[in-house]
Amino acid sequence: MGKLQATLVFTEALINGVLVGGVYALVGTGMALVFGVMRFINLCHGELVMVGMYLGWGLFTVAGVDPCLSALICLPPLFWAGRGLYRLVVRPLERSREQSQVLLTLGLGLVLSNAALLIFSGDYLAVYTAYSDLVLKAGPLRVSVPYLLAFALACVFTLGVWAWLFLTAAGRSIRATAQHREAALAAGIDTGRVSSLTFGLGTALAGAAGCLLLPVYYLHPGIGGLLTGKAFVVVVLGGMGSCVGAALGGLLLGAAESLGAVYLSAAWKDAIGLLAFLLVLVLRPSGLVGRSRV
Partner 1 sequence: MGERERGVGAHPAARRGPPPWTAMTGRRAGALASKALGAAGLALGAALAVLPLVSPSPYLSHLFATFWLWAAMSQAWNLVGGYAGQFSLGHAAFFGAGAYAAALAWTNGLGAAAGTALAGLAGAVLALPVGWLCFRLRGAYFVLSTLAAAEVVRLCALNLRGITGGAVGILLPPLSGGQRAACALGLALFGLATLTSALVRGARLGYRLRALREDEDAAEAAGVPALKSKLWALSLSGGLCGLAGALFCAQTSYIDPGSVFSLADVSIPAALGALLGGWGALWGPPAGAGGVVLVAEAMRVLLGRAHGLAYGLLLVLTVLLVPQGFCGLLAARRRAAGGEAGAGRP
Binding site for partner 1 (CB under 8 A): 39, 41, 89, 92-93, 95-104, 106-115, 117-118, 225, 229, 232, 265, 267-268, 270-271, 274-275, 277-278, 281-282, 285, 294
Taking the complex as a whole, the smallest distance from the CB of residue 47 to partner 1 amounts, in Å, to: 10
Strand partners, 128: none
Q: Which is nearer to partner 1, 98 or 133 (CB)?
A: 98
CA distances from 272 to 59, 221, 252, 262 (A): 34, 23, 12, 12
Question: What is the C-alpha separation between 128 and 122, in angstroms, rounded?
Answer: 19
Question: What is the C-alpha separation between 67 and 77, in angstroms, rounded?
Answer: 16
Taking the complex as a whole, the smallest distance from the CB of residue 99 to partner 1 amounts, in Å, to: 5
Question: What is the C-alpha separation between 69 and 10, in angstroms, rounded?
Answer: 33
CA 50 to chain centroid: 11
Q: Which is nearer to partner 1, 19 or 272 (CB)?
A: 272
Q: Which is nearer to partner 1, 55 or 108 (CB)?
A: 108
Q: Which is nearer to partner 1, 155 or 281 (CB)?
A: 281
Taking the complex as a whole, the smallest distance from the CB of residue 107 to partner 1 amounts, in Å, to: 3
Q: How many Å is the maximal CA-CA distance in the chain?
A: 67
Question: What is the C-alpha separation between 109 and 224, in angstroms, rounded?
Answer: 8
Q: Which is nearer to partner 1, 27 or 154 (CB)?
A: 27
Taking the complex as a whole, the smallest distance from the CB of residue 270 to partner 1 amounts, in Å, to: 6
